[in-house]
Amino acid sequence: MNKPSGAASSLAFQSRVIPVIVITHPNQAVPLAHALLAGGIDVMEITLRHAAGLHGIEAVAREVPAMHVGAGTVTQATEMRQVREAGATFALSPGLTPELHQAAQDQGMPFMPGVMTPSEAMRARDWGYRTVKLFPAAQAGGLSMVKAMAGPLADIMLCPTGGVSAANLAEFLSQPNVAMVGGSWLAPLSLLEAADWLAITRLACEACAVAQSVNP
């Protein structure tokens, strides 16, 4: 099996916090990207959970070059080509299959696969991935699981996603095996639909302040 051509962690993100976003209309994407940048976050994961996601990725890639826009919830090999063509600079998945791995290779797409167990993390490492998405982090054991994996799998960096919030952000980021975290609290649907970009900028500023105060 081919080794991956890159990983999401190799991209030059300023932020260690990745907003996980479900947009319901493409016109939300660009002002959201600007709101996050204003708050100090230069990376965003627009998921494919809604049909507007792909169009939102296209809009941000075209209009907000300072933003690293990634595609989330990539679960099928055919989607890897679609998100690459839309302009995504990296892709994330809740899991890892041989087909997804090969599609990432074929597209030259930096890819962060999802894992939930040590065995899955070891398999991802065997395929060349050194940064993986721990998902769903809360159901996998949360902070306790992150700490438990740090001993035997210290060379695998994690991006816990699912259950990460402003309340526990500092605890996760302080762990030596946590490269970054993903979370939906930064751009909740209620604020997106209300077009409350100032509120999203405030949430981004708060998250960045916490991230900058933590030394993993």
pLDDT at 151: 95
pLDDT at 216: 64
Alpha-carbon torsion (93, 95, 100, 104), positive or negative = positive
Give the Cα separation of 29 and 52 in Å (integer). 9
In tens, the pLDDT along 101-144 reads: 999 999 999 999 999 999 999 999 999 999 999 999 999 999 99
Mean pLDDT across the chain: 94
**Amino acid found at 85:** E
pLDDT above 70 for 8: no
Give the Cα separation of 199 and 173 in Å (integer). 23
pLDDT at 9: 52
In tens, the pLDDT along 165-177 reads: 999 999 999 999 9
Q: Which of 3, 45, 147, 206 is catalytic?
A: 45
143 close to 171: Cβ distance less than 8 angstroms: yes
Q: Which of 120, 133, 171, 206 is catalytic?
A: 133
Q: 49 CB contacts (<8 Å, ≥6 apart)?
A: 22, 72, 73
- The pLDDT confidence band at residue 13, using thresholds 50, 70 and 90, is confident
**Amino acid found at 87:** G
3 is catalytic: no
48 close to 54: Cβ distance less than 8 angstroms: yes
pLDDT at 14: 86
> Percent of the chain, pLDDT > 90?
93
- The pLDDT confidence band at residue 3, using thresholds 50, 70 and 90, is very low
Write the DSSP assignment of 85-124 as a string of letters.
Answer: HHT-SEEE-SS--HHHHHHHHHHT--EE-EE-SHHHHHHH
206 is catalytic: no
Output the CA–CA distances (angstroms, integers) from residue 95 to 75, 77, 158, 193, in the order listed: 7, 12, 13, 29
pLDDT above 80 for 209: yes
Q: Is the model more confident about 39 or about 10?
A: 39
Q: What is the pTM of this model?
A: 0.94
In tens, the pLDDT along 65-91 reads: 999 999 999 999 999 999 999 999 999
Give the Cα separation of 155 and 109 in Å (integer). 22
pLDDT above 60 for 7: yes
Q: What are phi and psi of 45, to 5 degrees?
A: -110, 105
Domains of the chain: 8-213 (3.20.20.70)
